[in-house]
A and B are shown apart, each in its own frame.
Chain A
Amino acid sequence: MKKILILTTALTGFAVSASAQELTVMSWGGAYGEAQTEAHVKPWSAATGFPAKMVDSDNPATPIKAMVEAGNVTIDVASIEYADAIRLCDEGMLEPIDIAALPAGADGTPAAEDFLAGAVTECAVSTDIWSNVYAYDTSKFTGEAPSTAADFFDLEKFPGKRGMRKGAKANLEMALMADGVPAAEVYSVLETPEGVDRAFAVMDKIKNDVVWWEAGAQPPQLLADGEVALTTAYNGRIFAAAVTEGKPFQTVFDGQVYEYEGFAIPKGAPNPELARQFIAFASTTQALADQAKWISYGPARKSSGPLVGLFQDGKTEMGPFMPTAAANLTNALPSSYEFWVDRDTELNERFNAWLAAN
């Protein structure tokens, strides 16, 4: 009995020592996770003295939901997509965030006006704008190169395996744009059952040649390994692989679907106060501009814009690589959270049934 006691004491000792005040941030891993680590997590830890660590997920919104439902939240801050932030907030899975508690811009503008329209919601603070694009390996296409959304779904013109994110969001929109639907009408088409069928019909054309990815770090790897010829990707990942590793990857912004990404606090987070401090720290004018030094995502504050300059290598101009650069917006679609908040579950279910059917 005594031995058992010692054993349990020893084991609970581990459990206790692990739950000391430490901030845990969950993000998407890879180049993006690294950017947030360098621009936010490390400086915060250095400034406050609290230890902080970064953990990876394919999409942090999913584990948040599972954690809150199982009553077992182990993270303090998560980086999630805009529509997910609103949906999870609606479902009571996130802590509310007070916009007034956020720091004013560097020029003194209050946070409520400094952030881009809608960037701060009831439960989340957007940090950047990122985009779903597709990319290809330039060494694979010596003649004509893919340049439009339609090219991605055209196996005859551009043969080869495709990589796509395993999920409905952004894929359906891109499929419709490839099918000739103007960006402005995509969501009104997608609201009808026929529109959804149409989007799936476009994806049917390449279904047998698709390698589905889940983690954002996979698409550049799939391209580099030659497993796919073209792949959809988060634009920053392709940028990072192309610039830091010198890979011959070309991004196609035609038919891109861009959206906010931001920090939120799951309900029942172990250290909510630290989490709030961290979010305030990581959403200052300078912090947002710093992040853009590491990855090609546009900052969500107006005052951060002018501070964005060179990539951390000190020579690459970031401007043209941002999803919001004028040249990249010719055929681009802002992702509609109103659409996805209500339909995410249904369309993903449909997507998975479609995927499983042979």
Chain B
Amino acid sequence: MALPVYASPLEKLWHYIYLVICALIFLFLIAPILIVIPLSFNAEPYFTFTEKMLTFDPSGYSLRWYDLLLTQPSLPTDVPRDAAWWGRVWTESAWVNAAKNSVIIGVFATVVATVLGTIAALGLSRPEMPYRRLIMAILISPMIVPIIITATGLFFFYSSPCALIGWTGLSQYCGRLTSSYVGVVLAHATLGIPFVIITVTATLIGFDQSLNRAAASLGAPPTTTFFKVTMPLILPGVISGALFAFVTSFDEVVVVLFVAAHDQQTIPRQMWNGIREQISPAILAVATILVVISIALLATLEILRRRSERLRGVTPH
């Protein structure tokens, strides 16, 4: 983005203004995410930089909010941190339990979304696929439909999931899906599916179908072809789709608010409660942890992208 030699002084000036504007927009994008990190180490219960923090006085910083995450709601703080104490943290800390729920729900939802989504993407990217456009539109719609509508619909549906087949007499064997892990997992899988479809079909666009035919002509059964030929090539797309699906579930709060019970308290829901009542800096400690996780995920994705480019022979410019 160097300026051409024939640029006039005015154009040069404009160019530098433009660069400054871009820098400010980047600051707007990134500052709010980074600002929570130092603030989460605040020794005082404020959401702003205290004088001690600005002068880098160590006593202005502390880990008390991280400690609070371990001890909320009612663990003793003034006891030795022995194995028994950590055992209690593992079972009693509200945040640790929320994290466990988030991971359980996220993992199951990701598996369901990734398996179903990848298989469907294979079908969708075949040239013979009938009604491709319409079906694609339906499968992507969970990403487009406002989440409050999805959550409300699920609230009614989960109360009596078999109402529609009531005439078969089978509905008596159906329980409710509200307040259950299964309900939340299914809902989160639905929300994650569009991401899997989008990333996997994007990988398959560059996929050479003749590789499959070559494998088949050499006598490989379809499953062998899939696992030995297709899968290694589309794997980066599948993994990034799975990461998207996991993050979607890990960040989802509205469906949880509508259909889950208190047993399925997840991190976002715990945060939601915390933010609505009073944002204690403990929320910032959680936020910091989540930011670190997203940085790790982003790095994974970047590595995958490079690997995929290398495998497919696309060289960076």
Contact = CB atoms under 8 A, between A and B. Distances in A.
Contact of A53 (B108, B262, B276, B278): B262
A12 B179 contact: no
Contacts of B104: 14
Contacts of B273: 29, 56
Nearest to A222: B278
Contacts of A30: 277-278
A11 B179 contact: no
Given A70-B178, A72-B159, A72-B179, A7 B277 contact: no
Nearest to A41: B74
B120 interface: no
Contacts of A251: none
Interface in B268-295: 273, 276-278
A54 B185 CA distance: 25
B182 A11 contact: yes
A30 B73 CA distance: 11
Interface of A: 7-8, 11-12, 14-15, 18, 24, 29-30, 37, 42, 53-56, 70-72, 74-75, 214-215, 217-218, 221
A71 B177 CA distance: 11
Contact of B278 (A12, A214, A221): A221
Given A55-B262, A74-B262, A11 B277 contact: no
B280 to A, nearest CB: 9
11 contacts: A11-B180, A11-B181, A14-B104, A15-B180, A18-B263, A37-B74, A53-B262, A72-B176, A74-B263, A215-B277, A217-B278
B155 interface: yes
Nearest to B160: A71
Given A15-B181, A215-B277, 4 more contacts: A11-B180, A18-B263, A70-B155, A215-B276
Contacts of B185: 11
Contacts of A71: 159-160, 176
A14 B181 contact: yes
B20 interface: no
A218 B178 contact: no
Contact of B182 (A12, A70, A72): A12
Which of B159, B176, B180 lies at the interface centre, i.e. has the most chain A CB atoms within 10 A of its CB? B180
Interface residues of B, number: 22
Contacts of B155: 70
Contact of A24 (B156, B176, B262): B262
Contacts of A55: 262
A217 B178 contact: no
A32 to B, nearest CB: 12
B261 interface: yes
Contacts of A37: 73-74
Which of B104, B108, B159, B263 lies at the interface centre, i.e. has the most chain A CB atoms within 10 A of its CB? B263
Nearest to B47: A225
Nearest to A245: B45
Contacts of B276: 214-215, 218
A72 B178 contact: yes
A108 B156 CA distance: 50
A218 B74 CA distance: 21
Nearest to B179: A74
A217 B182 contact: no
Interface string B249-272: 000000000000111000000000
Contacts of A53: 262
Which of A14, A29, A75, A217 lies at the interface centre, i.e. has the most chain B CB atoms within 10 A of its CB? A14
B263 A221 contact: no
Nearest to B264: A18
